[in-house]
Structure 1
Amino acid sequence: MGYMHDFDENVQATDVGAAIRKGREIILQAFNWESHKHDWWGNLERKIYDISKSGFTSVWLPPPSQSLSPEGYLPQNLYALDSAYGSEHLLKALLQKMRQHRVRPMADIVVNHRVGTTTGHGGMYNRFDGIALPWDEHAITSCTGGLGNQSTGENFNGVPNVDHTQPFVRKDITEWLRWLRNKVGFQDFRFDFARGYAAKYVKDYIEGAKPVFSVGEYWDSCSYQNGRLAYNQDSHRQRIINWIDATGQLASAFDFTTKGILQEAVKGEYWRLRDAQGKPPGVMGWWPSRAVTFLDNHDTGSTQSHWPFPGNHIMEGYAYILTHPGIPTVFYDHFYDWGTSIHDQIMKLINIRKKHNIHSRSCIRIIEAQTNLYAAIIGDKVIMKIGDGSWCPAGHEWKLATCGHRYAVWIKE
């Protein structure tokens, strides 16, 4: 464990706002729903050089703890790091390799619910006997069969939900997060099912464990009218913004609004990409420094396909999020499983983003948002377009930097 003392950041005294203020994050979600079947920690270790070279700053890994489900989302013994993704030894080797290549590991934090080891009150598996954090029924909300208080959020049905109002629960979770951060070597956190408990507890956990960067999964339904996505999604993005605010603005959040709108827009409704005020219509348009944009993840895409981005428009999607304000996320499947051409096209877009200093707060002016065409200028050095409408910027100073199926990006030399 000796190597754990040479963090790039001072582990004990991280400024939890620094990464958000800099706004230069580019995230890779480095797993899908099937990854646990494939010696995952070892597979990723072999890719860290490529991940680092591609320009990613943070790599979101699946939940590290022992879990009743192999994917990791039904955690039981939080301190046991042997999981379906590989052994504790292989995980620590991966984290060490990431640190050597200056890529931050992001832990998937599942603390909304926890599956007990023995039955207690009401015949539910709501006691945690014989493992670290041996809670009893008082750690579980009364709405999911425990003896604790009512939930402060929405229930994750079918399993015991953790009662975050209990001081002993918060103390134990904070100590576990500090252990992940300071002893195991995770630097960033992704909070799973953030609708399940009050955001003020996320604030407590961030302040207690001091991750470099945090993002929450606050996922609820967009607005629909007569079965079609409504043009105005202000109420949807406002709910995400309210959650970020309630974390003391310490967390960012996945921009589900942008995903929902973008994946309809690319089907020939590009007018959706400009809101009534002329701004981008997702969280990105209102609070870009906290908007973590993405096309798909292990839930929406992969083999679950709960809400997938249309596959033949993937590169248009990346041309949008990788040139725009916000904090873009690339999905493992697209980067590594969809062929070398997609991998290299995404890499080119990341390179343009970094080289021309596009960051989370870059200014944006939308030039066109029509049925078959969207075009925007970002900062003062990058112009992009998506859609099959024919368009290019006026002026000889603009040079084509990259292009592909229904997208093009120009830079000012």
Structure 2
Amino acid sequence: MGSLNDVSNERSAWMGSLEDGALRGGRDILLQGFNWESHKHNWWQNLENKASDIGKSGFTSIWLPPATHSFSPEGYLPQNLYSLNSAYGSESQLKSLLRELQRHHVRPMADIVINHRVGTTRGHGGSFNRYDGIPLSWDERAVTSCTGGLGNKSTGDNFHGVPNIDHSQQFVRDDITSWLKWLRKNAGFQDFRFDFAKGYSAKFVKEYIEQSCPILAVGEYWDSCNYTPPSYHLDYNQDSHRQRIINWIDRTGGLCAAFDFTTKGILQEAVKGEYWRLSDPHGKPPGVMGWWPSRAVTFIENHDTGSTQGHWPFPSHHVMEGYAYILTHPGIPTVFYDHFYDWGSSIHDQIVKLIDVRKQQGIHSRSSIRILAAQANLYSAMVGERICMKLGEASWCPSGREWKLATSGDRYAVWHKE
């Protein structure tokens, strides 16, 4: 573990890097490295075997499932935060994986589940709201009063069924900060993903990031899109939805990016033949990407929306259109493990080709974008003045001999300048 001086020096360097361009200049490409069933498959070893391919494919960071001891095998009901033995593998297997990832220049991203925590013993009211016998041995004061504890009322939404952590308590924040530093310095994680970020105030996320200095941080602020009854068809205008996500990012001081649920919701309707949805009334991308692209972590599927949970799945026959969109556009794109490794070599190779084009043409989270067409069966755009792309069944290509086809597939094509 590094000394306090090491942490202080790193924090100074980290703050300097923010001033030079937050979130690593926007050239990150993420891989979500698990699904809802991954705990059944010797996961740390599986990923270590793929570390070389992950790095060679162009990913800069891999989001790993919760690595600490959990009451549930998936990891989202944490108990002993300082135990790195989980259903995904042992502590030694995890640390071997992290070393191998870093050897291939891929940063490990820890899944930070700090909205709630399963107690070890019954306390006030007969609830499991005490944490006796394990590190961070909190009593009932660490649990919000609205979920069976003696702490203050929650500063966000409740995650029902388990004790929710009261982040307004200074001793709780001090302990969480120490744990986050331990994950960075002892375990070897470099990036953080904050689970269920609606559950506690964003100002606490800001504090945790400032103190623990992850290279990249992203929050899961999953809010429902806007639908109009009685049909509950997705509204065209999702400005209030993306504004709520942007407000959360802003309350973190802009230190934390957020998953762009607005873009996912719109994109998975657009690919069904409603590409007009991909341009807002001002001609910008309609998600968080259109308003604050350097903080928009775009994706088309994750372990909750897809996998065996399937809460909000992307249309399976349009997956490559989705990747053609997010991998050519501003924002920080994320690829889902299942698509990359379980859906066959063709999709794997198509995604890698899109990543290659993105990198070779210098597309990043802040790249300019000019939407050229947004119709029922056609979407086209020029990004960074370096690439043109199209989605849909309609025929389209950029004018000018300088444009060369870079890659194409079912209902998508990408061109770059020679």
**Does TM, scored on the shorter chain, surpass 0.5?**
yes
Q: 1:161 maps to which residue?
A: 164
Q: 1:370 maps to which residue?
A: 375
Superposition deviation, residue 393 in structure 1: 1.0
Are positions 1:33 and 2:32 aligned together?
A: no
Question: What is the root-mean-square deviation of aligned Cα atoms in Å?
Answer: 1.4
1: distance between equivalents of 2:228 and 2:382? 31
1: distance between equivalents of 2:121 and 2:111? 25
Residues 11 and 182, structure 1, Cα contact 8 Å, conserved in 2: no
User: Greater CA deviation, 18-27 or 327-336?
Assistant: 18-27
Which amino acid counterpart does residue 182 of structure 1 have in structure 2? K
Residues 12 and 182, structure 1, Cα contact 8 Å, conserved in 2: no
Counterpart of 2:14 in 1: which secondary structure? coil
Which ranges of structure 2 fall in alignment gaps of 5 or more residues?
none
Are positions 1:301 and 2:300 aligned together?
A: no
Which amino acid counterpart does residue 297 of structure 2 have in structure 1? V
Are positions 1:95 and 2:114 aligned together?
A: no
Residues 316 and 407, structure 1, Cα contact 8 Å, conserved in 2: yes
2: distance between equivalents of 1:286 and 1:147? 40
Which amino acid counterpart does residue 250 of structure 1 have in structure 2? L
2: distance between equivalents of 1:406 and 1:198? 42
Are positions 1:322 and 2:321 aligned together?
A: no
Superposition deviation, residue 381 in structure 1: 1.3
Q: Give the number of aligned pairs.
A: 408
Which amino acid counterpart does residue 285 of structure 1 have in structure 2? G
Return structure 1 stretches of 4+ with deviation > 3 angstroms.
Answer: 10-14
Question: 5 Å matches for 1:262-411?
Answer: 262-411=267-416
2: distance between equivalents of 1:150 and 1:12? 32
Q: 2:14 maps to which residue?
A: 15
Superposed CA offset, 1:215-256 (max 9, x none): 000001000013100000000000000000000110000000
Residues 24 and 216, structure 2, Cα contact 8 Å, conserved in 1: no
Which amino acid counterpart does residue 400 of structure 2 have in structure 1? G
Superposed CA offset, 1:353-375 (max 9, x none): 00000000000000000000000
1: distance between equivalents of 2:208 and 2:124? 28
2: distance between equivalents of 1:11 and 1:211? 10
2: distance between equivalents of 1:103 and 1:236? 32
Of the three residues 74, 81, 86, the one matched with 1:78 is 81
2: distance between equivalents of 1:294 and 1:356? 21
Change (3 A) 1:60 1:168: same
Which amino acid counterpart does residue 158 of structure 1 have in structure 2? G
Q: 2:47 maps to which residue?
A: 44
2: distance between equivalents of 1:11 and 1:117? 35
Counterpart of 1:154 in 2: which secondary structure? coil
Superposition deviation, residue 21 in structure 1: 4.9
Are positions 1:195 and 2:204 aligned together?
A: no
2: distance between equivalents of 1:379 and 1:158? 47
2: distance between equivalents of 1:282 and 1:220? 13
Change (3 A) 1:108 1:344: same
Are positions 1:259 and 2:258 aligned together?
A: no
